[in-house]
Amino acid sequence: MDKSKIRTDLSTLFNKVFKCGEIEITDTLTAADVERWDSLSHLTMVSEVEKHFGIRFKLKELTGMKNTGELVQLIADKTG
């Protein structure tokens, strides 16, 4: 899937989970930048991403993920 489309969809999902408004999904965006982004909301977001894109992450993929750029790349790899 095209990365710009992934970013647009993520912006909507992030707003739904983190209630942060429509934010720009940059590659360097991390939990430290979004107020309601904690353990609970992170795993809720992951679950929403899995449902929306029809993919499944491995736990080690999640622990290795450093920022939103890596999330976008993982989604792109998995959706082909």
DSSP 45: H
CB of 71 to other proteins, least distance (A): 12
Residues 20-79 close enough to bind other proteins by CB under 8 A: 30-32, 38-40, 42-44, 47, 58-60, 62-63
Burial 18-45 (b: 16+ CB within 10 A, else e): bebeeeebeeebebeebeebeeebbeeb
Number of residues that bind other proteins (CB under 8 A): 16
| Residues engaged in binding other proteins (CB under 8 A) | 19, 30-32, 38-40, 42-44, 47, 58-60, 62-63
